[in-house]
Structure 1
């Protein structure tokens, strides 16, 4: 595969900064850690978990799924506490069902005997079905619905303690037949973070882009393979999307001891030839002093949370596949610190959920 690193000068990153108007806000009575939000028409679903349990041993946790309307009035709450450890990591509404990726089992310190499960929940908040896929560690990827298939990735292990023999799997679950197909990595890959689906082709990315190893699990044209982006150093995966025949992968190097040269990095994978090119943009050219790793995809662009180098305030920025910032929104630091944010931006509205609660803003 062809690989080249291109550093280029950005002509202009000027964009209009928009303010926000807080429309409504709700505090959580149960959730301590928010893991995902889904916004479907007039319905909002927020998933997370809490260590405040009856067992109270520092490891036990209960999972929660809360259904809100767009005024953030709760409609119902589903609580999962039938195991020692219960965590909802991803949620997706599709037609008249809600699908949730749940980890259940028992965790004691670094020893975790937990399993990856898919819950099917009706619109009244009642569990209709559970499917167990296997023992796991860490959080799974997002959920993607593709036709009659539900697709996600997760980390697998044959042990209950942390080790170096982790592998990853892509699960393609047919919602009609209730059958699924597994694609397992041949070696260690970083913890799954995002699934991208294009027709019948599937791409799974981990939370890191490590040098000298595969970075993408690929199921393409009916065949499984693994691709290395050949990064020179360990970078943090941020986002990915497909535009025609190009798979764009957005990463960042936030700096480390001995190497403070922070940069945003784009990889472009030609899906026809598998040729890879890349472009790196230093934070300073973008006017940033720091970058958060929670993102939201909007078409062929990504929303990021950054710290402005001059004002030291946080901002949401919409950056396209070429590194141009096209829109900027103020970040409400009265209701968050930019870390562990779950947000959706659409139709002039911003939905954000974190440990401080769930908020709806008007942005235009």
Structure 2
């Protein structure tokens, strides 16, 4: 298939620039993947579409405030660092702008010298291996000095950093939020559990590779960047029990979906494990375990719209996206949601 098969025209004003005041007041498009029928609801109405015994699988990764603004030692030139992947205690794979100032041996300072960095290696696609120097715990230093790494299509400043975290985020390590989960409030999760719906957690640390454009003309030629995942024994047991009882496993977000499909065997069973996944799901893929999917509205020609097209059918998805544009749904990270059932 060709990348252009997943293009749609998106007016810029539909790209959500800020989160709504209440997380679960976002709109929710209900799409039946078999009939193609569409309903329009609020996200909190998801409760009506979940059944006792279903299992919601949520990604509990937590976003690092991974954007650092510093200056080059000696010259004082302003620099921007984006942490991509931790390599060891002090070294990170990092995107640095402007890259021409970040040659091997270059040194940088952040804050009042509380954090320092040196370029010690070159990595793929122009990123740098950077070694940081600091006193104390790196995550605490980063929390003081770092900013949320919002996607480039969000131009407005985010006042409350927690709005780019899910209410159940726990395991620090992502460069971007698993945005389908941003719609849940603690109260809504409580009501979901009271209805008899199980909640299970996986961790997939979202890398920026998920959002990088597909440059190949044929989607089969695109290579995904690997991301680290964890599934514990409790989650594996819950999911297997759900499948055995003939109930639905519902992935909250493409990240949970990719984690489940990576781990599941051909019989749709999972086990405790961790590792790296570069799974690329596009039309033609046969799903092994996921029965329904909650997801946001994604960029044209992205790997994410290819994944949802694999799940519900390209024609159904392109029709739903056309409807979303006509009805002025909000798109991308802070936008509205879709339930594919």
TM-score by length of 1: 0.28
TM-score by length of 2: 0.29
Structure ranking higher in helix proportion:
2
User: Which structure exhibits the higher relative contact order, with contacts defined as CA atoms closer than 8 Å and separated by 6 or more residues?
Assistant: 2
